[in-house]
């Protein structure tokens, strides 16, 4: 819920149920990535959460959306040396070391 959501952000669905819903959503798919197109103000009926508008699911009303706690923000990541080492350890690949003369 503390994510700094912006239009264009990618949001992965991590839950389909919310206390404001009578039943779990059958519209959202767990693990699916959605694109945020609108971030609403905190609303009472969502327990003070902001409602996210999604490109893939237009809300019935302009002031409605999906509770932000149903999603986690997908952040970009540039692979680094630590990532390479973890992949090497997971795959069992030999470590590359420079040859000495």
Q: What is the pLDDT of residues 31-43, one digit of tens each?
A: 999 999 999 888 7
Residue 15 lies in a domain: yes
Mean pLDDT of the chain: 83
Residue 56 lies in a domain: yes
Residue 39 lies in a domain: yes
Q: Is the pTM above the cut of 0.75?
A: no
Q: How many domains does the chain have?
A: 1
> What are the DSSP E strand ranges found in the chain?
10-13, 33-42, 50-54, 66-67, 71-74
Residue 96 lies in a domain: no
Residue 97 lies in a domain: no
Q: Does the pLDDT value for residue 25 go beyond 50?
A: yes
pLDDT digits (tens, 9 = 90+) for 45-65: 888 888 899 998 876 555 678
Task: Please indicate whether residue 30 or residue 61 has the higher confidence score (pLDDT).
Answer: 30
Q: Above pLDDT 70, what percent of the chain?
A: 87
Residue 60, domain extent: 10-91
Residue 101 lies in a domain: no
Residue 5 lies in a domain: no
């Amino acid at each position: 819920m503390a994510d700094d959501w912006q239009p264009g952000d990618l949001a992965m669905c991590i839950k389909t149920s919310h206390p404001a819903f009578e039943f779990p959503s059958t519209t959202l798919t767990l693990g699916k990535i959605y694109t945020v197109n609108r971030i609403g103000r905190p609303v009472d009926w969502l327990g003070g959460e902001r409602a996210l508008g999604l490109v893939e699911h237009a809300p019935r009303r302009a002031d409605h959306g999906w509770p932000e706690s149903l999603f986690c923000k997908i952040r970009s990541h540039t692979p680094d040396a630590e990532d390479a080492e973890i992949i090497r350890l997971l795959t069992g690949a030999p470590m590359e070391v420079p040859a000495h003369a």
